[in-house]
């Protein structure tokens, strides 16, 4: 196997392309999730996250610009799989209390993927001395962590219990 001449900056650029694709795919998927949610708080949280995702795309474009690179996505098979599974769950459970739990279940898979990626990318930017890129990525990372926490709170506060109660009514 030939030795690659690519380095950490190349990996950062690859990761940015991956996340640029992922954020745009997430942005396209969110309206269907919002529409499928029956819980008002969940729907409001998803709408807020849609707005944040638009801002995150703009922040990624700023990262590319700071690196003198063209903002472009590279197909992310991981997010495609996560979103495909979420879509399948929405078809199976949508419009029910269990559907709201499924939306949280799927959304947290997305958030955890994003948290892992943005954490690594921020570290790479730090190591490369790209403070402006690091700051932008850290801002996105903080939003993703907050979104995950909100989803957990909704699930633990009432969404999962509502799904259970609906099961009990069906029994």
> Is residue 11 within 8 Å of 37, Cβ to Cβ?
no
Residue 129 is assigned to a structural domain of this protein: yes
pLDDT confidence tier of residue 167, bands split at 50, 70 and 90: low
Q: Is residue 1 part of a domain?
A: no
Q: Is the pLDDT of residue 168 over 70?
A: no
83 domain residue, yes or no: yes
In a domain, 2, yes or no: no
Residue 115 falls within a domain, yes or no?
yes
Q: pLDDT band for position 95 (50/70/90)?
A: confident
Average pLDDT, the chain: 94
| 2-11 own/partner pairs: CB under 8 Å, 24+ apart | 8/124, 8/127, 8/128, 9/67, 9/124, 9/128, 11/124
Asked if residue 75 belongs to a domain, the reply is yes
Residue 70 is part of which domain span? 8-170
Q: How many domains does the structure of the chain reveal?
A: 1
Question: Which whole number is the average pLDDT over 156-165?
Answer: 93
Q: Per-residue confidence at 94, pLDDT binned at 50, 70, 90?
A: confident
What pLDDT is attached to residue 156?
Answer: 96
Domain CATH number, residue 61: 1.20.1260.10
Let me know if residue 136 belongs to a domain: yes
Examine the pLDDT at 2 and tell me if it is beyond 60. Answer: no
| Rounded CA separation 121/105 (Å) | 25
What confidence score (pLDDT) does residue 1 get?
A: 54
Q: Is 122 among the domain residues?
A: yes
């Amino acid at each position: 196997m030939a030795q690659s001449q690519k380095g950490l900056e190349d990996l950062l650029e690859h990761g940015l392309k991956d996340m640029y694709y992922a954020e745009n795919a997430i942005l396209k998927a969110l309206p269907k999730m919002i529409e499928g949610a029956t819980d008002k708080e969940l729907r409001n949280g998803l709408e807020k996250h849609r707005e944040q995702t638009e801002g995150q795309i703009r922040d990624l474009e700023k990262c590319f610009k700071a690196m003198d690179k063209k903002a472009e996505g590279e197909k992310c098979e991981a997010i495609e799989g996560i979103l495909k599974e979420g879509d399948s769950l929405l078809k199976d459970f949508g419009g029910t209390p269990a559907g709201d739990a499924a939306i949280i279940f799927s959304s947290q898979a997305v958030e955890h993927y994003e948290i892992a990626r943005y954490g690594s990318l921020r570290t790479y930017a730090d190591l490369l001395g790209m403070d402006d890129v690091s700051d932008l990525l850290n801002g996105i990372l903080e939003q993703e962590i907050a979104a995950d926490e909100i989803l957990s709170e909704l699930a633990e506060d009432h969404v999962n219990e509502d799904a259970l109660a609906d099961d009990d009514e069906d029994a």
